[in-house]
Chains A and B, each alone.
Chain A
Amino acid sequence: MAKQFMKGCEAVAEAAVLGGCRFFAGYPITPQNEIPEYMSSRLPEAGGIFIQGESEVASVNMVYGAASTGTRAMTSSSSPGISLKTEGISYLSGAKLPALIVNVSRGGPGLGSIQPAQSDYLQSTKALGHGGHRLLVFAPYTLQEAVDIAYDAFEYAERDRSPVMILMDGCLGSIMEMVDLPPMKELSNQNTQGWKVGYDGVKRGARMITSIYPEAGLESNNKNSAAMYKKWQEEDVKVEEFMLDDAEYVVVAYGIAARVAKQAIMQLRGQGCKIGLIRPITLYPFPKKSFEKLNYNNIKAFIDIEMTIPAQMYDDIDLLVRGRAPIFEYGRSGGILLDDDGVTDAIKKVTGGQA
């Protein structure tokens, strides 16, 4: 392991390369430009290919092409660009192609703001394009966690033949932290032999990669996806449960918001407040079990803290809490960041200043 002091965007890009990424296509947009910039010199060094596409639409389709040859392929963007990529993401899902998509999100809707925000939760978890497909969506809250997720992302993608998303807001993309970089992965055990296109020296029957199917084939694909999503819920949920044992107040937050919330929680604990945190690391599948196993006799309230207004995770929490405790929300948006004092005060309002 090599320890390095790195910026978020570059750390994720490097981890993807170490995890086997050999193709990147992307289009400039703030605050993720450091990813394509890094890839433009790093990938050729690693024997890979970098292309600056003419748009996000083209870039994600270049990734689609590269992925169809079994090449580990990635694209990144920020919110408005991800909207354009959703067409391609839907096709990647439909054609069962592995790929990695990173969203370094910013304020919205529309052109919004180039400043960090967590305004793409609903898009990431519910609707990355038409057709009802889902992606594994990871939301790291430190650069080390981002590195670890990016490093293994292609294994998930190839296991499932399904694209994977990492959602990290502009804060994570821009901060610098120490990270442990793992070693370069061997590509020999890639799980793509049975379906990728292109001649490999052995003659075989013709292959087709497509997202168009006759009706029965499409329905059976949809059923397989449904089963896969259920399996994700059973096997792939990642979550951090922090100080929940005796908690009367439960904060729910992910990514940068969880990082700020955790500070506030530790401070409030110091003042005697029984408060804990559920931090989804996979936003999809959502950590349902963490909510199911809570002792609702103890719980006085939930506080959903997100760097967006209105809170977008709220409905997912509401479905699990089912009226057993009130749910409050607090957020900042538009590129205005959450800070310790704001979050602490918002929590205190709910706890009645108790502390």
Chain B
Amino acid sequence: MMEKIYSRPNCIVPMQSGYCPGCLHSTATKIIAEVIDELGQGHNVINVLPVGCSSMGLLYWKIDMVGSAHGRAPAVATGIKRSRPDSLVFTYQGDGDLAAIGLAEILSAANRGEKFTVIFANNSTYGMTGGQMAPTTLIGQKSTTSKKGRDAETAGHPIKMCELIKELAAPVFVARYTLNNPQNIRKAKQGIKKAFQYQLDGKGFSFVELLTNCPTNWGVEPLDSLKYMEENTMKYFEQKVFKDEEESK
């Protein structure tokens, strides 16, 4: 008899993924599902979907989900969590969604200390609309609206969301991870689990940023996109736990 050491998470629909080959949204989708399973929360979780490739979880997660308007997921999650304080509520948002059009909603929800979790997939681009410059696009990084690379003079510098949110008084857990290799994926998963556990314990707002890729719109092979992350993205966006209420006690 062979021992079963790995299986698909319960809250993932058994179907082929439609994310582009090598897209780390699929990795994030999977580890979030694993955490939900491990915490035994499949029946009790409500996910708020954004607008972007980051919303394709609607096809793959087998959990209660509410689709929101572009950038508004933290406001929608506020309405849900306040009405259903016992549910495990999280948003999964891209960088265009969260760090551009939805800046007011994310900062205000964080500042109010809403007791839900935000998982922020930062791939430095507007993936779904075809690779335009995002607020997180690196200086010099090319996009369809910054063909010569992002110019700080006119577009400013890539916005660091964890660093902004950690300055607010209310959030209890703020951390950035990267999904470039299995070791870092495991760390990210532990971070998500901690954030969810804090929420289940009735603690305040938690924010987990995941550095991801977009091989399709970066115009590189999947493996080269990981190399790009290691040489550029991960150097600019520091990966660490910025704030952990437990540890600061």
Binding site for B on A (CB under 8 A): 22-23, 25, 49, 51, 53-55, 57-59, 61-69, 71, 73, 87-88, 91, 95, 197-199, 203, 206-212
Contacts and interface: CB of A to CB of B under 8 A. Distances in A.
Contacts of A66: 79-80, 82-83
Interface of B is mostly: mixed
B62 A64 contact: no
13 contacts: A51-B78, A53-B108, A54-B105, A57-B75, A58-B75, A61-B68, A61-B69, A66-B79, A66-B83, A197-B65, A199-B87, A209-B66, A210-B67
Contacts of A22: 83
A206 B83 contact: no
A62 B43 contact: no
B43 A197 contact: no
Contacts of A197: 46, 64-66, 80
A207 B64 contact: yes
Interface string B68-85: 110010011111111110
A57 B108 CA distance: 12
A68 B66 contact: yes
Contacts of B11: 206
Contacts of B83: 22-23, 49, 65-66, 69, 71, 73, 198
Given A23-B83, A58-B104, A206-B62, A65 B67 contact: no
B82 A49 contact: yes
**Interface bracket on B:** 20 to 34
Given A61-B79, A65-B75, A67-B79, A212 B67 contact: yes
B49 interface: yes
A54 B76 contact: no
A204 to B, nearest CB: 8
Contacts of B76: 61-62, 64-65, 68
Interface of B: 11, 43-44, 46, 48-49, 55, 58, 61-69, 72, 75-84, 86-87, 104-105, 108
A55 B104 CA distance: 8
Contacts of A87: 69
B108 A54 contact: yes
A95 to B, nearest CB: 7
B77 A65 contact: yes
A53 B44 CA distance: 26
Contacts of A71: 83
The winner among A63, A88, A197, A210 for most chain B CB atoms within 10 A is A197
The winner among B61, B82, B105 for most chain A CB atoms within 10 A is B82
A65 B64 CA distance: 13
Contact of A23 (B48, B58, B82): B82
Contact of B104 (A23, A54, A198): A54
B64 A208 contact: yes
B87 A209 contact: no
Nearest to A198: B84
Contacts of A59: 75
A69 B80 contact: yes
Nearest to A70: B83
A64 B55 CA distance: 17
Given A57-B75, A61-B68, 20 more contacts: A51-B82, A55-B104, A58-B72, A61-B75, A61-B76, A61-B105, A64-B66, A64-B72, A65-B79, A66-B82, A66-B83, A68-B80, A69-B83, A69-B84, A88-B69, A95-B66, A198-B87, A206-B11, A210-B66, A212-B67
A68 B68 CA distance: 11
B49 A210 contact: yes
The winner among A51, A63, A65, A206 for most chain B CB atoms within 10 A is A65
B112 to A, nearest CB: 8
